Structure 1
Amino acid sequence: MDSIITNQIAPVGTSFLTDVLQGLQSKPKFLSSKYFYDEKGDRIFQQIMDMDEYYLTDAEMEIMEQQSSELARFIAVDNQPFDLIELGAGDATKSIHLLNALLKQQLTFTYFPIDISTHVINDLEENLPKKLPQLKMEGLNGDYFKMLKKAKEISSRRKVVLFMGANIGNMNLTDAEQFCCDLRNELSQNDLLIIGFDLKKNPKQILAAYNDSAGITRSFNLNLLDRINNELDGDFDVSKFDHYASYDPETGACKSYLISLQEQWVNVGDETIHFDANEFIYMEISQKYSLEDVDALAKKSGFNPIHRFFDHQEYFTDAVWKVD
């Protein structure tokens, strides 16, 4: 559920129905977390980020607010021009601090925010230049890797890629390694990746962030069933499902499920899906990392870890990886 998903609003259409039916007809059942974000889901996630239990947003924001100038110095290499590419840019609330620091150091760069949401890119292109008039930017609307290739076609300058918000945590460890390998294959010598990780900590604190006392996360997960009802002719009775979250401190995997409270049948499109009592739908993972895990992932995927930035409580790290 971390901020990757707010920046990866999935388009409605045939793929939505296909993905939902594939997941619900699988054993065990699953739904893709990329579909959490309709208009209502986005509003609920804003509430999640304001929760006392949800520490992630404040932790990374602290890093960006207080250490962007130092981070900018890592990015600057002999004052050579470069491209700053942000995967899943969202509203750039965090990255605007880095953009401002880079401009203050009078570095020559172009900002390429990438997001699957057309609305997000249009909003950035309209509003970010008002806040940072000196900024050169070009929004790219689409899939991460397709748009990264497009940015390389537009410019051959050195690349600095931002992948923030613990986005990597929305993948299991195998998928995260593959993602980083694929990203490394798109980059060249001396390019940088700045990537955010939520760190392993007290298990109770982590679990509370995904199982809050007010039930906001519960409503966030159940909203996907409402979205299926509204957009795919589903007839889920949301009251017959409940949210369950778990955290394994050994593996660092925090997982969320929806549990069927009784045996039931649900129609989606032209298909009927059977649920046993207590059967689960796997919804998402929020993977947590140790510092050793972070460095190991960098090296396995072909990067050289060169620095880490922490919030003052060391809940979170933005790691700087280099392509040698």
Structure 2
Amino acid sequence: MNHLAEHLAAGFAQVPKTLSSKYFYDAAGSRLFQQIMGLPEYYPTRTELAIFRAQGAAIGRALAAGAAAGQPLDVVELGAGDGLKTKLLLRELLGQTLSIIYVPVDISASALEELVASLRQELPALPTAPLAAEYGAALTALAERPEAKAVLFLGSNIGNFAPAEQAEFLRALARPLTPADRLLVGFDLRKDPRRIRAAYDDAQGVTAEFNFNLLRRLNAEAGANFDLAQWQHFPDYDPSTGAMRSWLVSRRAQTVQVAALAGQTFEIAAWEAIQTESSYKFTLPQITELAATAGLRVVEVFQDEAGDFADVVLAVEG
């Protein structure tokens, strides 16, 4: 059965209905997200990029610290995207260790192809081993590689998991690592709630188009008949929990048919909301507690001057 259609059926059986943000990223979705990263309201990308530019050498040393001299180092990035920020770190690491293999992982094969092509131009001496896979498959592949590892999970993607899932994911990520390996995780920190909400509701409407792209994919790949004109994008931030959520809200009562599910139909009430994304924001004490719960310790924290974002180097206990 069509995996996207299966996901729709499972998500629409929940209350409230849900669709996973991981399905945003087909070729069109990846292009839209690249536009989002350049929007004035969307601070996370440029803030993390500023951290890498100002502190990239120190981050590179922290990531390579556990690798023996001359030992190959796998730089594994989950959710690699266009690699904009990572290229800064790769340049630093190339200057600090003799042998690096970059393993970009992304659910979008087209995004990986574009990334590898750009690396051939910008860092032609860098060996790459791209992997088009979901995180679960990537973690399995990671466990099978014997090299020392620096694993990157940037952009506050950890915030896309629910709180209980965050520790579970980090625990799974830590399982194939040795005490000498390093994990670099980006965390979006709590700040003015209005700034956070605006980052997911830009004035140009690009984020809304990114959300709508999920319905376009379901129409194209699962044979659904979502009428995009009958939906609206709605983001909301709860400063008491740090939860930033995005929804697709139905403007009217409607029936959606899905060809890939043998024509199965789904009834949607007027103003019913489908949750499509969560993006949790963190405090530094939360990060330390989360790491400990997952069997990790904080090695070093790198922040921007305003304290909007933190890139945290972690290692397994032991």
**TM-score, length of structure 1 as denominator length:** 0.90
Partner of 2:104: 113
Counterpart for residue 162 of structure 2:
172
Give, as a single letter, the amino acid of the residue that structure 2 aligns with 1:215: G
1:286 is the counterpart of 2:279: yes
Partner deviation per Cα, 1:105-125 (whole Å, 9 max, x = no partner):
344332222223333333344
**Aligned partners of 1:194, 1:74: CA distance in 2, in Å?**
9
Distance apart, 1:152 and its partner CA: 4.3
Amino acid of the structure 1 residue aligned with 2:310: T
Aligned partner (choices 288, 295, 306) of residue 313 of structure 1 = 306
Q: Greater shift after overlay, 308-317 or 200-209?
A: 308-317
Q: CA RMSD in A?
A: 1.8
AA aligned opposite 1:304:
R
Matched, 1:87 2:75: no
Q: Report Cα offsets for 1:236-282 as digits up to 9, x if no partner.
A: 22222111111111110001111112222221221111111221111
2:21 is the counterpart of 1:21? no
Residue in 1 aligned with 2:90?
A: 99
Separation in 1, partners of 2:97, 2:86: 17
Aligned twin of 1:122: 113
Match of 2:35 in 1: 47
Match of 1:6 in 2: none
Q: How many residues align?
A: 311
C-alpha distance in 1 between matches for 2:30 and 2:79 = 14
The residue aligned with 1:159 is 149
Q: State the distance in 2 between where 1:213 and 1:133 align.
A: 39
Does the CA-based 8 Å contact 1:124-1:139 persist in structure 2?
no
* Structure 2 counterpart of 1:169, one-letter code: G
Structure 1's 277 and 45: CA in aligned 2 closer, same or farther, altered over 3 A? same
Superposed counterparts of 1:1-324, under 5 Å: 14-77=2-65, 79=69, 81=71, 82-154=73-145, 156-269=146-259, 270-324=263-317
Stretch deviating more after TM superposition (105-114 or 304-313): 105-114
Identical pairs, percent: 39
Relative to structure 1, the CA distance from residue 231 to residue 116 in structure 2 (aligned partners, 3 Å threshold; closer, same or farther) is: closer
> One-letter code of the match for 2:168?
Q
Distance 2:124 2:254 in 1: 56
User: Shift of residue 80 of structure 1?
Assistant: 5.0
Instruction: Give the letter aligned to residue 129 of structure 2.
Output: E
- Work out whether residues 79 and 108 of structure 1, in 8 Å CA contact, stay in contact via their aligned partners in 2: no
**Structure 2 gaps, min length 5:** none
AA at the equivalent of 2:160: N
Partner of 2:80, secondary structure, is coil
Runs of 4+ in structure 1 deviating by more than 6 angstroms, as ranges, are: none
Q: In structure 1, what residue type is equivalent to 2:294?
A: S
Q: Which ranges of structure 1 fall in alignment gaps of 5 or more residues? A: 1-12
